[in-house]
Amino acid sequence: MHIAFSIFKYFPFGGIQRDFIRMAGLCHEHGHQVRVYSLIWDAPAVDEFEVVLVPVKAISNHVLYERFAHWVGRDLALHPVDLHMGMNKIPGLDAYFAGDSCFEDKTRTQRAWYYRLTPRYRLFSKFEKAVFAENSSTRILSISDMQKELYQKYHKTPDSRFYSLPPGIHKNRIAPENQAEIRSKLRAEFSIPEGRNIILFIGSGFLKKGLDRAIRGLSALPAEVRENTLLLVLGKDKPDKFQRLAKSLGVQEQVWMLGGREDANRFLFSADCFVLPAYDENTGGVIVEALVARLPTLVSANCGYAEYVKSADAGLIADSPFSQRDFNAKLLELITSPRRAEWSENGRCFSERKDIYQMIPTAVEYLESFAEQIKTEKSRL
């Protein structure tokens, strides 16, 4: 079986990117040929896939993505595959991994009305409709019931086209027996005393993930707590704006921008708590990673996986609509609460749930069945 994936940009530290590389890798392990279309491949070459760097350019991203979609469509007409799987929304997909939030909802709830007059809006709206419109044939791998409802609200997508996936974290995120040793070594490496609080923030796309909210929360802590607390930031993005914010709030020495890292699990095992006060987060796989790493967790209610924090009783959820004052108060509670050990132990218990590791195998099973369905449909024509 020959499966093609389309992804605008590949780099190792994004959530969608990590899901893609594991999915494509498992397809290869199952004996399928894998072709990948991408604009940017910011990682070492892989022998398992055919990586096609799409040779289009444009000044603006929306024009670039439009040209990408057209080029991929023409190439697939010349070099057909059994299934075309999209990690981003473009026309012509057989299947789409719904890792992004509903664009139409974000536009209408987070943007001024005149944004809908722009060419950027028109292009992304058209691409979303191509995937989710009532009369589209694209099959949708859904990872968030909350987002599914929004897609159906704006596009009337039938239930029959959604295929739900469980979370799919890697088991190397589970707190190991030698967690204390890992914690001690990392703190020694970064010269962080054992008694100093570490708040961990992980996410590529600092604005979307709410890093400004986390920095403001840090600055609002009582002086005796704030001065003994660090915010460690892992992720691939431009830090300048957030470093300036930290400086303006007097916490620049306590906000450490560490970039995208392959060893994020070491930080999960070494921190004292995890925060993700996102403006927009379809699911937030890193939330589940924090829970199984036994980190007390504080997230915004609009994160799709906030429900796991609640069901596991492993931390706190910020109010919806978001209030910075509420987040600040809950951040202080997260750091100082006598329930911290209980939240950590609840995370350990949560890690024993078998379903939270099954996203990728389930997704690949769906892709294989989709390809067989499409082959059958074509044979009837």
* Amino acid letter, 264: A
Helix (H, G, I), strand (E, B) or coil at 181: helix
Residue ranges per structural domain of the chain? 2-166+358-380, 171-355
| Total-model pTM | 0.88
Q: What DSSP element (H or E) covers 55?
A: none
Residue 304: closest CA among 319, 321, 282:
282
Q: How many CA atoms lie within 13 A of 187 on its CB side?
A: 19
> 293 near 269, Cβ under 8 Å?
yes
CATH code at 171-355: 3.40.50.2000
Distance CA 168, CA 189 (A): 30
Distance CA 344, CA 314 (A): 6
Query: Burial, 275: exposed, middle or buried (Cβ in 10 Å; 0-12, 13-18, 19+)?
Result: buried
> Structure tokens of 206?
């600092």
CATH topology match: 2-166+358-380 vs 171-355: yes
Distance CA 123, CA 181 (A): 51
Cα→Cα distances 313→199, 201, 373, Å: 19, 20, 41
Per-residue pLDDT of the chain (381 residues; tens, 9 = 90+): 999 999 999 998 888 999 999 999 999 999 999 999 999 999 988 899 999 999 999 999 999 999 999 999 999 999 999 999 999 999 999 999 999 999 999 999 989 999 999 999 999 999 999 999 999 999 999 998 889 999 999 999 999 999 999 999 889 999 999 999 999 999 999 999 988 999 999 998 899 999 999 999 999 999 999 999 999 999 989 999 999 999 999 999 999 999 999 899 999 999 999 999 999 888 889 999 999 999 999 999 999 899 999 999 999 999 999 999 999 999 999 999 999 999 999 999 999 998 899 999 999 999 999 999 999 988 876
* Amino acid letter, 157: T
> 233 near 275, Cβ under 8 Å?
no
Written as one string, the DSSP assignment of 185-205 is HHHHHTT--TTSEEEEEE-SS
> 331 near 221, Cβ under 8 Å?
yes
Give the homologous superfamily in CATH for domain 2-166+358-380.
Answer: Glycogen Phosphorylase B; (3.40.50.2000)
Torsion over CA: 41, 46, 47, 48 (sign) = negative
83 strand-pairing partners: 3
